[in-house]
Structure 1
Amino acid sequence: MDNLDRGILDLLRQNARAGYGDIGGVVGLSASAVKRRVDKLVADRVIRGFTIQVDPAIDGMSTEAYVELFCRGTVAPEELLRILSGVPEVVDAGTVTGSADAIVHIRARDISGLEAALEKVRLAPNVDHTRSAIVLSRLIHRAAE
């Protein structure tokens, strides 16, 4: 990957629907050269997919919480992945250092939907307890990928 590829990625992060000609105009390549590079970035799994981001408030998924997950004993990350993958309201999760085993980001339509999602997580056999913080207002959101 070179600086041209990095420039293409930066532009695609800003607007994944940008035309190859528009991108090429910025980075100094023809549209076909940009397409070849994007195809190679996809083939090399540098670009893992193209997606849309929907405003959760408009989509009706504006209730969100960050949940610390505490497990009984030692639980492998793969087991946490299995547990959390079964809860569609979980939009992000990761293992962490500290007293919690994982941090889970949950989005739901309302408080009762959030409670139902939390209950699904809590019912997993390896989960001891959770500690939740409901988001009141979002201050900054930057897409990581």
Structure 2
Amino acid sequence: MELDDTDRAIVRELRRDARASMTTLAEAVHISRAGAHARVRRLQAAGVITGFTVRTDPVLLGQHTSAYVTLSVEQPAWQEVRLRLQDIPEVEHIALVGGEFDVMLLVRARDTRDLRRVVLEEVQAIPFVRTSRTLLIFEDFPNLPGPGGSAE
């Protein structure tokens, strides 16, 4: 599917506010409500829009400590490792990466003691995880523009 400027504007607006009404969305991208609705449905059908989500404040959820955790895993078992990581509630994001490590995680925990428990007792206990490195996050900047996104 080839995207035009209006499609990109719709995606950009929905990234900022996935709960925007079709009327608000249509006004923001300067098309009719019916046109906005049809384009959103087309973007969903094509797999460009894969779902709608909510952003949360980890601190207000009681997750005061965050870290990126990099893993080296035995290659034949990376899929099993991924499946087991998905079962750990504190793991917010999993990425398979190239380079020095095989997997990068975003882990959110109550405090450093909880983070230690997650890394040492849950992540390191997964068979085929060879090594891990934990990078403590001092401060998040969630409203910075990401790839293809825009700041609020």
TM-score by length of 2: 0.83
Match of 1:20 among 2, 9, 22: 22
Q: CA deviation at 1:77?
A: 3.6
Query: Residues of 1 paired with 2:29 and 2:70: CA distance?
Result: 43
| 4+ long deviations beyond 6 Å | none
The answer for unaligned runs of 5 or more in structure 2 is: none
User: Aligned letter for 1:87?
Assistant: I
CA-based RMSD: 2.0
Q: Give matches, 1:13-92, under 5 Å.
A: 13-71=15-73, 73-92=74-93
Partner SS for 1:59:
coil
Q: CA deviation at 1:58?
A: 0.7
Query: Residues of 2 paired with 1:140 and 1:77: CA distance?
Result: 29
1:138 maps to 2:109 = no
Q: CA deviation at 1:3?
A: 1.8
Query: Residues of 2 paired with 1:27 and 1:138: CA distance?
Result: 30
The answer for unaligned runs of 5 or more in structure 1 is: none
Q: CA deviation at 1:66?
A: 1.1
Cα shift readout 1:95-116 (whole Å, capped 9, x = no counterpart): 2233322221111111222122
Which residue in 2 is equivalent to 1:107?
108
Classify 1:98/1:132 alpha carbon distance in 2 versus 1 (closer, same or farther; 3 Å): same
Moved more, 81-90 or 20-29: 20-29
Q: CA deviation at 1:139?
A: 4.3
Q: Percent identity?
A: 33
